[in-house]
Structure 1
Amino acid sequence: MNSVKLHTAKETLVTAFALFSLFFGAGNLILPPLLGFTSGHLWWLVSLGFCLSAVLVPILGIMAHAKLQGTIFDFGKKVSKGFSLVYSFLIYVISISLPSPRTASVTHEMAIQPFFDVPSWLTGTVYFSLVFLFVVNRSKLLNVLGKILTPTIIIILLLIIGISLFSTDQPVGPITLSSPFANGILEGYQTFDAIGAVVVGGVIIISVNLKKKEASYQEKKTLIRRAGILAGSALLLLYTGLIYTGALVQADFDTEITRTALLNGISHLTLGRNGQVFLSVLVSLACFTTAVGIVTGTSDFIQSRFKNSKKAYLITVIAGCLLGVLIGQFNVAYIIAVALPALMFIYPITIVLILLNAIPNKWASPKVFRAVVTTTIIFSIPDFIGSLGWGASISALQEIIPLSRYSMGWILPAMIVFVLFNLTRKKHPINNSSL
């Protein structure tokens, strides 16, 4: 009996480490320190907002995957099959066009350029060649990510955070953000973790199915849920630590410092002359594991749409890697800026789908799905328009919609519609067979 429990604990830990590494990529590493740097003494409030969108929602996405045990297509099928198909394609197009290439761009700027005078196309080519090798050997994915790469990432991060906490005695500086909590939530969007949850969650499902073919639905559900909680706890600890570290070093750097320059500076302060080497390893591993997860998830989805064709899987892997090399030639700041409008539109829909799939079915009937998702799409349009730089044209509308000036105008309408439709359900019970 003890050996069975030990085996289960080991499986859970390996899966949790793999899940963490698939989540923890370029944005997860470079965004929190600058957020803390600009939040000053209100670092804790920014951390709360950031972890809400970059930890809680993504882990709820993994819980939803554990419940559904299907693909991303299952997340939206209660709205309609047509909607779910369009949503799935949008998610994968965004994922493989923005966060995946961004990992190569960050790796070049922070891990390669400081040591070697090589062009970014060469870095991208080598980088995505390695990604290709990992993705085509996906049966070994969980073991390699969970047993080797993730522990290395966590150890280096804990070194940077731990040394910062115990070596800095200066007070935390003033805040320069206008809305710390809202800024934290919106910056959490840039991690792509909610989108990552529906993408890499599918990767985890397929990987677990390949590894534990004889396991029951309940056994796999328990394994994935526990792994999700462990991975989420690690993300919470490290995000908060990186944000606080950024707040602690506010007096050591210029106020106009960039995200990548700040992370470089922190690594030098904490780890000395060898800091750049440690940071290079950290950045390379964190970015690489995320790129592997995105390309694998996209290829899995395309394969599922083409009757599990291995040829479709391979063609998607090649296309994803080539796209990564091409778009990865742009610098990190440019890719982050380009990603914002896409995120302002797709992120609210993703958050709503995750929450609706994570809660009990009795509160999330097809009718509730359709009403809440439609409301979210309508009320996220002003935020999307504002992110394009056309805020002046919708300023009157933003004054009317609560939270719209914080780019979160969809939240209250979606909540109200959810409550109203569930109150209607209690008065007019829905046939359970339809759920």
Structure 2
Amino acid sequence: MSVTTTTATDHKPDNNSATKLSGKHRMITAFTFFSMFFGAGNLIFPPLMAAQAQSATIPAALGFIVSAVGLPVLGVLAVASAGGFEHLASHVSPRFAAVLAFVIIMAIGPCFAIPRTATTSYEMALTPFIGENNRLALFLYSLVFFVIAFLLSLHPEKLTKSLGRIMGPLLIILIAVMFITCVFVPHAPLGAPNSEYAHGALLKGFINGYQTMDLLASLYFGIVISANINQFGVTEPKANHREVRIAGGEAGVLLVVVYAVLSFIGAISGSIRSVNGAQDTGATVLTNLTTSAFGTAGTTFVGLVFIVACFNVCTGVLSTCASYFEEHFPTVAGHAVGYKQWSAIVAIFSFIVSNAGLSAIITVSLPVLGALYPIAIVLVLLYMAERPFSSKFPRVYLWSVVLVAVFTVFDCLVRLLAVFGIELTTVSNFLASLPLYSEQLTWLIPAAAGIAIGIVDGILRRGRKTDAGRDQ
């Protein structure tokens, strides 16, 4: 593996290795991490949620922050402690770890997340001025978008120079301008929450946090962050892992502050002009506010914010995916394929998918995310409870994850078939009748059952080993 994709575990301690980052380098690394996380979804979901929640914005925002910040930070901590996502997932089985790792990389990379960065920024920055369904404009925009992202991704260990020092701080400045605008724009008092947030706003906000995909991304972003920390001189494995955890925590603090600000912005915008949750998006909420304050210039401003946010995430995820493919598929059909080649392949594939349009990408991605997110949550939470619980009953990994996967994958297939016009009415009605299905939390039942079975399985296995020892 080349220097650009080397993780901390690939280095041996040496006398020249630093034991920790300087304060300046920690700040830059945290901004880099933040920039990789914070993309289009992060920017549009909190304002839309708050515009609908209105007076219930605080509990809704708290729920969102738990799932959109708390879970990804736990993911960073778990993966850093385990020495990589596949080591973590190997608690279920090595083969399962390899399959799940590939599926997650494809989801957060060339199939959904990377193409979405181009299409979302296009629709926010250009569509208001040139109209919808302009295929040629989308083609040209996405082409330029991915060429620039590819060039920056060629040196992932140097992302701190572009994302950490320039793009991340610029994004925060742009959001701060919107916040200051909210403080001075006249608005009515916050209204009553709509029906979805009138009851259970905390839980609704928690589920909305899934849509950022940050938990899945956190399982691999540590690869790139570790490489950047290596460049700052912290190459000793334990010290490097510690700095990855610190960077994840500091990025989490930044995300909490920004989500709180965006929720405030959304609540104020919703009090100025109501939104339709079934038709409008968070982009509409932001545009309503900036247009009210600045007119057409406001629309241009929001488009700029989206381009910066989407470009940050695209570059970071492109680097992450290329690093993964270089490590796991160094040769294809007998030919060596390095980091640069994989980066180009991922960029080209993402470019092709992006031209399907934002609506098609989101429609297909939602069922897949609904399958992957619960599996990731169970894995991360079990590992965080490793010392007090999971290490004593290691079979809980297998049983809980497999049972959750069986349910979520089956549900995903049913939803995907519906997307393509194949309705399994009887099956869909059965799923809808299950507890917590409308809240998208039915997976908690197989998770709890798997943990219980895993505990019993572990006790029985220990009993058999004890009996075998006595017989000898």
Normalising by structure 2, report the TM-score. 0.81
Q: 1:189 — aligned with what?
A: 210
Is 1:252 aligned with 2:272? yes
* 2:402 pairs with 1:374: yes
Offset from partner CA, 1:295-330 (integer Å, 9 cap, x none): 111111111113599733223211211122222223
Contact 1:138 1:207 in 2 (8 A): yes
Amino acid in structure 2 at the alignment position of 1:346: L
Deviation at 1:395? Answer: 3.3
Aligned to 1:198: 219
Q: TM-score, normalised by structure 1?
A: 0.88
User: Counterpart in 2 of 1:409?
Assistant: 442
- Alignment identity in percent? 28
Q: Is the 8 A contact 1:134 1:292 kept in 2?
A: yes
**Aligned CA distance change for structure 1 residues 281 and 255 (closer, same or farther; 3 Å):** closer
CA contact (8 A) 1:383 1:408 kept: no
Change (3 A) 1:254 1:42: closer
Tell me, in whole angstroms, the C-alpha distance in 2 between the residues paired with 1:297 and 1:376. Answer: 27
Q: What is the CA–CA distance in structure 1 between the aligned matches of 2:341 and 2:170, rounded to whole Å?
A: 32
Determine the structure 1 residue equivalent to 2:12: none
Map residues 324-335 of structure 1 onto 2, 5 A cutoff. Answer: 324-335=350-361
Distance in 1, matches of 2:425 and 2:48, equals 25
Aligned pair count? 425
Map Cα deviations across residues 361-405 of structure 1 (whole Å, 9 max, x no partner).
453344221122112213435653664455763434543x43223
Matched with 1:314 is 340
Say which SS state the counterpart of residue 30 (structure 1) adopts.
helix
CA 1:147/1:69 → structure 2, altered by over 3 Å: closer, same or farther?
Answer: farther
- Change in CA separation of 1:5 and 1:207 when aligned onto 2, cut-off 3 Å: closer
Q: Cα deviations across residues 332-388 of structure 1 (Å, max 9, x unaligned)?
A: 333222211101111111112222333334533442211221122134356536644
Q: Which secondary structure does the structure 1 equivalent of 2:337 belong to?
A: helix
Cα 1:221/1:6, change in 2 over 3 Å: closer
1:404 is paired with a residue of what secondary structure? coil
Deviations 1:29-84 (A, max 9, x none): 122211111222211222122222211101111111221333x3223111111101
Give the conservation status (yes or no) of the 8 Å contact 1:380–1:408.
no
1:299 matched to 2:322? The reply is yes
Determine helix, strand or coil for the equivalent of 1:376: helix
Does residue 232 of structure 1 match 2:252?
yes
CA offset at residue 258 of structure 1?
A: 2.2
Matches within 5 A, 1:61-140: 61-70=75-84, 72-95=85-108, 96-114=110-128, 119-140=137-158
1:156 Cα shift? 1.0
Residue 14 of structure 2 is matched in structure 1 by none
Confirm whether residue 284 of structure 1 aligns to residue 284 of structure 2: no
* Alignment deviations for residues 231-290 of structure 1 (CA, whole Å, 9 cap, x no partner): 111111212221232222224335335213322222333555533343233211110111
Alignment CA distance shift 1:413-1:146 (3 Å): same
Query: 5+ unaligned residues in a row in structure 2: which ranges?
Result: 1-17, 419-423, 466-472
- Distance in 1 of aligned mates of 2:397 and 2:441: 19
Equivalent in 239, 242, 256 of residue 219 of structure 1: 239
Distance 1:392 1:231, change over 3 A: farther
Aligned mate of 1:418, from 438, 441, 451: 451
d(CA) in 2 for partners of 1:350, 1:391: 29
CA RMSD of the aligned region, Å?
A: 2.9
Q: Which runs of 5+ in 1 are unaligned?
A: none
* C-alpha contact (below 8 Å) 1:61/1:358 kept by paired residues: no
Larger radius of gyration: 2
Match of 1:341 among 367, 392, 410: 367
Aligned equivalents of 1:153 and 1:393: distance in 2? 45
The answer as to whether partners of 2:187 and 2:272 remain within 8 angstroms in 1 is no
